[in-house]
Amino acid sequence: MKLCSGVFDFERARAAGCRVTLGTDGTSSNNSLSMLDEMKFAALSAKLTGNSPKAGRVTDIFHTATAAGCAFAGADSGSVAAGKAADIMLVDLNHPVLCGGYDLISDLVYAGEPGMIDSLICNGKFLMKNHIIPGEAEIIAAARDVCAKLRKIR
């Protein structure tokens, strides 16, 4: 949408038998890199292109962002099951965007925001725990240094 390169027809692609997955495509065309934002935009654009409020159902969108994406990438994750890689996002269910509590998947797709993610576990190891990423200040400083150097060579 940012680059005005068209809108993907989610329902038509699925009906044609295409394997549909969801991800972010880099900071050059998506500044936030938030899978939560991607799910919301995918659901809303599916409704728009499908001309139906039933298009882009939250269960389908959530599946494309989790299990389908992992399967496509060959990752042994995407669902919580014995023998699968322990890749888990722990969500703060007391976060204000989740107050409604009607349907967690719907809330994640339509109202999810990064601040509600409490912890991230990848292959059984915490990458973020209680909103804390070890070495985060150094990571941000290094990223800012790289960005400053890139700005100079434009």
Residue 3 has pLDDT above 80, yes or no: no
Average pLDDT, the chain: 90
- The pLDDT tens digits of the residues spanning 31-72 come to 778 899 999 999 999 999 999 999 999 999 999 999 898 888
pTM of the shown model: 0.84
- How do residues 92-101 score in pLDDT, each as one tens digit? 999 999 988 8
| Comparison of pLDDT for 41 and 29, the residue scoring more | 41
What pLDDT score was predicted for residue 55?
A: 95
Instruction: Tell me which residue of 51, 77, 78, 74 sits closest to 62, measured CA to CA.
Output: 78
CA distance 80 to 86: 8
For residue 29, pLDDT beyond 70: no
In this predicted structure, the answer to whether residue 28 has a pLDDT above a threshold of 70 is no
Contacts 24+ apart (CB under 8 A), 38-42: 38/65, 39/65, 39/108, 39/109, 39/112, 40/109, 40/110, 40/112, 41/1, 42/8, 42/10
Interval 106-131 mean pLDDT:
93
H or E element at residue 141: helix 136-152
Q: Rounded distance, CA 62 to CA 10, Å? A: 13
Which CATH number is associated with domain 10-152? 2.30.40
